[in-house]
Every structure is written in C-alpha cells, then in structure tokens.
Amino acid sequence: MTITPALPRGAEEKQEAPAGRTSRPAGGRRRDWRMALEVIGFTAPALALFLLFVVWPILRAVQFSVYRWKGFGPLVDFVGLQNYLAVLRNEVFTDALMHNLIIVVLSIVVQLPLGLAIALLLNRRMRGQGMLRTIIFVPYVLAEVIAGVVWFQLLQPQYGVVDNLTEAVGLSGPEQGWLGTPGLALYTVLAVLTWKYLGLAVLLFLAGLQGVPEELSEAAQIDGASWWQTQRRITIPLLGPTIRMWAFLSMIGSLQLFDMVWILTGGGPANATTTMATFLVNEGTKRQNYGIAAAASVVLFVVALVLALLYQRFILSRDNDASDAREVR
C-alpha cells in the first residue's frame, strides 16, 4: 500500500497545464509595455534629429546630384549619372581625392609616433607635468578659424614670423612663400594640421595609459627589463585599441578636411591643396554648379563610408572579438 502525499493547493492546476506553455502574469506584460514606451520616449527625439539633420540632407544631396541645377528654380533638367561622370573625370577632383589620401596616410605616420612618444613622456612623474599637458592640448581647443588665421599670418612671405626665423639662422624661405609654392603648400598645411590635432592624440593615448596596470611594468622591471623594453613589450600592445580608435578618427577627419585648407590656401596655389570638401564648395558657391557639387558630396560620402567599413571589418573587429571573448569567460 503506497501513500501519495497531499499536494499543496493549486498544484493540481499547475500539473494539468500543457508542457511547454507558461502563462505570463499581467503585471509582467505591463512592465514590458512600460519599458518599450520608455525606450521610445528617450530615443525618439535623438532619432528625429538624426533623420532631420543627417538622413534628409543625404537624400536631398542624392536628389540634387542627378539634376543640372544652378541653385534656384525647380529641379527639371534631369541628367542622371552625368554629374557623377563629370566629377570622376575632373582632374581637379581626382587630385583632391589624392590629396585627401596623402593627408590620411601622413597624418597617421607623423602624429602616431609623436603623440605616442609625448604621451609616454607625460605619463611619467615630472615637474610641470600639468602645464606641459595643457600646452600640448591648447591648439586642439582653439577654433579652426582662429588657428588658420594665425598661421596664415605667421607664414606670410618675407614679413611672416616663420620667414624671419629662418633668415635669423641663415636660411631663406621660398620666394613665393610656404603657402604659395605648389610643391610645399600641401606639406605646410599638413604641418599646421599636425600642430593643431596632435593634442587630441596625446590626450587619447594618456587616457589609454591610465588603463595599463602598473603591476605589469613593475614585474617587468623586477625581471630586468629596461624602460624601453617595458613600453615596447607591454605598454604599447595594451594601448593597441586606443591607437586603432584614434587612427579611425584621424582618417575620417582627414577625408572631411575643409576649414584649415580653406583659410590657409583656399585650395591653391594651382589646386595644389584642393580637397574633396573644398572642391564641392567651390563648385557650389562660386560656380553655382550645385548638381556637380552634390555629386561630389555623394562621392565623398561613399569614399568615407567604404573606408570606414573596411577599417571596421579588418582592424576594429579584432577589438570587438577580444571584448566578446572576455565577456564569455
């Protein structure tokens, strides 16, 4: 004879419920709806601004790019892809694209070692450390217009401070000026850009260095490693994600470069410093070829998007994979 223990009240109903089906309380559904409404309420303003100021201008630029339009009147002269063909066949635009790519490469090649060296130096304890950090970061804080006007005056031929300094040490600057010589203008602009944006690289690298555990450096020193070996084997590899993120920001900024070039040279001399941004502004505001300018802007958007996706796929993806692996562990 077996005795079946009594089940608590309500257990019979739970046992009779079909397997795999669970009833959700009404309170849980209300919480889900409340959470969904909160998410929509918080994201809707940002999404509306994004659609209004980002997506809508892009769509309008694409629309303008398939018309021959002078900036006034309705869009009636449909030309299809002729504006894009005109842009891609324009030697000034292809040179501008090459100038942007040169600035992308040289900005990373020059600013990366300089910024990393300065960040490693400022990360050590020394007198006047805070003042040195401020001095290096001040140029980045200055507005583009202010920095451009100051350097335009400093680089004036014969009367500028730079020419006076070169003459004081027995050298002579170019006759047409640093910004007026086609072979030197682009690299002069690059030097000004390095002065302007080096502080951002130093700031990001210093922030990344704060996340490097000091115990690793101390253990390396105990094992007999020199300061340089410690930086090369431990600090710099751990700083890799920060370096890759800074390189991504530098690449996008170099592709969109406009302000400094426009103030210093206006794209001259002889289109030696023209960028894709200055090209489309010249076509739109000076020549009133808004269809050509819109096509150039779309090409610039596509170039930046493709490079960003490639960089994300082949370089930044390793950091995402590493973070996912750490979360799994």
Asked whether residue 184 carries a pLDDT value surpassing 80, the answer given is yes
Question: Do 315 and 244 meet the contact criterion of CB atoms below 8 Å apart?
Answer: yes
The pair phi, psi for residue 67, each rounded to 5°, is: -130, 150
Burial tier of 201 (Cβ tally within 10 Å: 0-12, 13-18, 19+): buried
Confidence bin at 129 (pLDDT 50/70/90): confident
Domains of the chain by residue range? 82-320
Note the pLDDT of residue 12.
Answer: 46
Q: Where are the alpha helices (DSSP H) in 125-275?
A: 129-141, 144-154, 161-168, 182-209, 214-222, 227-230, 236-238, 240-255, 259-264
- Which residues 6+ apart lie within 8 Å of 38 measured at CB? none
What single letter denotes the amino acid at residue 269?
P
Q: Tokens 């998410």 appear where?
A: 39
pLDDT of residue 35: 85
CA distance to 40, 61, 150, 176, 178, per residue, from 168 (Å): 65, 51, 21, 19, 17
**pLDDT value of position 1:** 46
pLDDT digits (tens, 9 = 90+) for 260-302: 999 999 998 999 999 999 999 998 888 888 999 999 999 999 9
pTM higher than 0.85: no
CATH label, 82-320, candidates 2.40.440.10, 3.30.310.50, 1.10.3720.10, 1.10.10.10? 1.10.3720.10
- The mean pLDDT value for 75-85 works out to 90
pLDDT (0 to 100) of residue 197: 94
**Which residue would you say has higher pLDDT here, 228 or 115?**
115
